[in-house]
């Protein structure tokens, strides 16, 4: 190659680099302008407009109807069947249990192919349950219980042997599966999120992977499907971002900053599909609205701690049994309030927000925190805590509201599942 050709290539390279730099600068300026416009449009928050709320709530008390005992290790996740009567619990003892919530009886037992389970979900027709965990695989099982009624099929074959419940094993992730869910109204399409920074859409009818979604810069810790749109789901990650996805597009359609200095640990869609909440390791929850394309409310950990102190709810590290009086408990909890925050931030396995769920109307937000074994009930409009559910002795790992809104199930690291209602 002669010197003239080399010179021409150098000039072309310089020109392209200049054009790229100009385009990057224009993109940055446009991003700043859009951020300013969005910020100018945020002239109010949900809490600031709460004074216009015609009906305010004072207290909310849910009654514990059943305590389901049968697991021998931590209950990692739970899911209601569509009939609103049966519930599935996944435990790190290596088993799935299907319960009848009305009488507390076990209806079915499924031995897990991956005992280190972290998440589970039930299909729309109630026939399948999907699990994910440390084996990096999404595993789908068939259930004998019908999800639309109390009928039960025998899990035994004609020769008396137990039928195999295993349906599919989907492998594609390179790291642990932290969350999964069937898409809205679907009994075949499952979306999973993983520590390999990706999410994958699977289809049981096609027998494999459909799409892969990249965009996060850290472990993807949680996902939630839009309850009204089978194409939309949201994820959150260690990169402190929440990304909104459309399964028809390989890139995220929107990005939201969920936290400034800590990981985003759990995300949950609002029942109407127009909003979602994202909880972080510092105990803060932000409510984002898709229509305004930004956050409209923030729920801090300070309100939770004040409510716990005033109602004698001791942190997990300090059991109420260790105090001789309520006054002593208040003094002790007040003295450790400051040190508790720093100690929890330094704990890898102790994020602030563990699980979230909304009531059917969306007015109530149920949240579990690493500091307490009680579930806090928050008014999403005013941000005030209206009550608590204190039936467990350890961290509540999963909260799930039934489709009809009549029942609430909580699964805990104390090996039990509690059933609540009004």
> What strands, in cross-sheet order, belong to the sheet with 285-289?
264-269, 275-280, 285-289, 294-299
Better pLDDT: 150 or 7: 7
Phi, psi of 295, rounded to the nearest 5 degrees = -80, 140
Mean pLDDT of 360-376: 94
Whether 269 maps to a domain, the answer reads: yes
Looking at residue 96, what is its pLDDT?
95
The reported pTM is 0.81
> Which residues, 6 or more positions from 17, have their beta carbon under 8 angstroms from its beta carbon?
none
Looking at residue 69, what is its pLDDT?
95
> Which residues, 6 or more positions from 132, have their beta carbon under 8 angstroms from its beta carbon?
114, 117, 118, 119, 120, 138, 139, 176, 177, 178, 179, 180, 192
> What strands, in cross-sheet order, belong to the sheet with 364-369?
353-358, 364-369, 375-379, 385-389
Is pLDDT of 101 > 90?
Answer: yes
Is pLDDT of 216 > 50?
Answer: yes
Q: What is the rounded distance in angstroms from the CA atom of residue 204 to the CA atom of residue 123?
A: 11
Q: Predicted confidence band at 1 (pLDDT cuts at 50, 70, 90)?
A: low
Better pLDDT: 259 or 34: 259
Give the residue numbers spanning the domain of 260: 64-153+162-311+351-421
User: Which two three-digit tokens encode residue 218?
Assistant: 């850290």
Looking at residue 241, what is its pLDDT?
93
Is pLDDT of 7 > 50?
Answer: yes
Q: What is the rounded distance in angstroms from the CA atom of residue 48 to the CA atom of residue 126?
A: 41
Is pLDDT of 351 > 60?
Answer: no
Tens-digit pLDDT profile for residues 283-312? 999 999 998 888 899 999 999 999 999 988
Whether 144 maps to a domain, the answer reads: yes
Q: Predicted confidence band at 54 (pLDDT cuts at 50, 70, 90)?
A: low
Neighbours of 51 (CB within 10 A): 8
Looking at residue 31, what is its pLDDT?
75
Looking at residue 55, what is its pLDDT?
66
Looking at residue 322, what is its pLDDT?
37
Whether 9 maps to a domain, the answer reads: no
In Å, how far from its chain's centre is CA 82? Answer: 19
Contact 370, 350 (CB under 8 A): yes
Q: Predicted confidence band at 104 (pLDDT cuts at 50, 70, 90)?
A: very high
Number of residues written out for the chain: 422
Query: Of the ranges 94-108, 110-124, 147-161, 225-239, which one carries the lowest mean pLDDT score?
Result: 147-161
User: Which two three-digit tokens encode residue 344?
Assistant: 């929890």
Better pLDDT: 4 or 87: 87
Q: Predicted confidence band at 349 (pLDDT cuts at 50, 70, 90)?
A: very low
> Which residues, 6 or more positions from 60, have their beta carbon under 8 angstroms from its beta carbon?
364, 377, 386, 387
Is pLDDT of 276 > 60?
Answer: yes
Whether 28 maps to a domain, the answer reads: no
Whether 57 maps to a domain, the answer reads: no
Round the average pLDDT of the chain to a whole number and report it.
85
Q: What is the CATH number of the domain that holds 376?
A: 2.130.10.10
Whether 16 maps to a domain, the answer reads: no
Mean pLDDT of 230-252: 95
How many structural domains are present in the chain?
1
Better pLDDT: 314 or 56: 314
Nearest to 96 by CA among 82, 126, 76: 76
Q: Predicted confidence band at 163 (pLDDT cuts at 50, 70, 90)?
A: low
Question: Is residue 261 classed exposed, middle or buried when 0-12, 13-18 and 19+ CB atoms within 10 A define those classes?
Answer: exposed
Looking at residue 164, what is its pLDDT?
61
Is pLDDT of 162 > 60?
Answer: no
Whether 337 maps to a domain, the answer reads: no
Residues of the chain with pLDDT > 90, as a percent, come to: 62
Tens-digit pLDDT profile for residues 123-153? 999 999 999 999 999 999 999 875 444 444 4
Better pLDDT: 34 or 174: 174
Contact 359, 378 (CB under 8 A): no
Contact 89, 72 (CB under 8 A): no
Which of the listed ranges 12-26, 184-198, 322-336 does the model predict with the highest average pLDDT? 184-198
Nearest to 191 by CA among 160, 212, 168: 212
Whether 49 maps to a domain, the answer reads: no
Q: What is the rounded distance in angstroms from the CA atom of residue 138 to the CA atom of residue 177?
A: 8
Sign of CA dihedral 223, 135, 169, 141: negative
Contact 311, 59 (CB under 8 A): no
Beta strand ranges found along 40-116 (DSSP E): 63-69, 75-80, 86-91, 95-100, 106-111
Query: Of the ranges 36-40, 247-251, 374-378, which one carries the lowest mean pLDDT score?
Result: 36-40
Residues of the chain with pLDDT > 70, as a percent, come to: 86
Q: Predicted confidence band at 2 (pLDDT cuts at 50, 70, 90)?
A: confident
């Amino acid at each position: 190659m002669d010197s003239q050709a080399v010179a021409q290539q150098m000039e072309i390279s310089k020109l392209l680099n200049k054009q790229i730099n100009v385009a990057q600068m224009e993109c940055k300026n446009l991003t700043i302008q859009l951020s300013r416009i969005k910020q100018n449009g945020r002239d109010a928050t949900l809490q600031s407009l709460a004074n216009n709320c015609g009906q305010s709530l004072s207290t909310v008390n849910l009654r514990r109807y059943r305590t389901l005992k049968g697991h021998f290790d931590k209950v990692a996740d739970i899911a209601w069947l569509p009939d609103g009567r049966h519930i599935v619990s996944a435990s790190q003892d290596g088993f799935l249990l299907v319960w009848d919530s009305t009488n507390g009886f076990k209806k079915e037992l499924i031995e897990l192919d991956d005992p280190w389970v972290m998440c589970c979900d039930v299909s729309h027709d109630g026939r399948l349950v999907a699990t994910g965990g440390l084996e990096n695989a999404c595993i789908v099982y068939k259930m004998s219980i019908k999800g639309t009624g109390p009928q039960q099929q025998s899990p035994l074959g004609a020769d008396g042997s137990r039928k195999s419940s295993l349906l599919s094993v989907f492998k594609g992730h390179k790291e642990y599966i932290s969350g999964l869910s069937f898409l809205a109204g679907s009994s075949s399409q499952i979306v999973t999120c993983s520590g390999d920074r990706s999410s994958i859409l699977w289809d049981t009818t096609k027998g494999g992977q459909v799409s892969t979604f990249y965009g996060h810069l850290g472990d993807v810790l949680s996902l939630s499907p839009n309850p009204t749109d089978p194409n939309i789901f949201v994820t959150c990650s260690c990169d402190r971002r929440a990304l909104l996805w459309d399964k028809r597009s390989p890139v995220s359609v929107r990005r939201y900053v969920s936290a400034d200095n800590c990981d985003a640990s759990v995300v949950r869609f609002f029942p109407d599909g127009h909003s979602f909440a994202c909880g972080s390791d510092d105990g803060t929850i932000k409510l984002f609205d898709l229509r305004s394309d930004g956050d409209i409310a923030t729920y801090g950990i300070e309100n939770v701690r004040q409510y716990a102190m005033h109602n004698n709810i001791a942190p997990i590290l300090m059991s109420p049994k260790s105090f001789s009086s309520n006054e002593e408990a208040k003094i002790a909890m007040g003295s450790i309030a400051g040190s508790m925050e720093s100690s929890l931030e330094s704990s890898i396995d102790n994020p602030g927000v563990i699980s979230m769920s909304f009531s059917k109307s969306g007015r109530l937000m149920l949240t579990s925190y690493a500091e307490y074994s009680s579930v806090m009930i928050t008014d999403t409009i005013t941000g005030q805590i209206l009550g608590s559910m204190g039936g467990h002795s350890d961290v509540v790992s999963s909260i799930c509201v039934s489709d009809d809104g009549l029942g609430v199930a909580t699964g805990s690291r104390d090996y039990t599942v509690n059933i609540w209602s009004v």
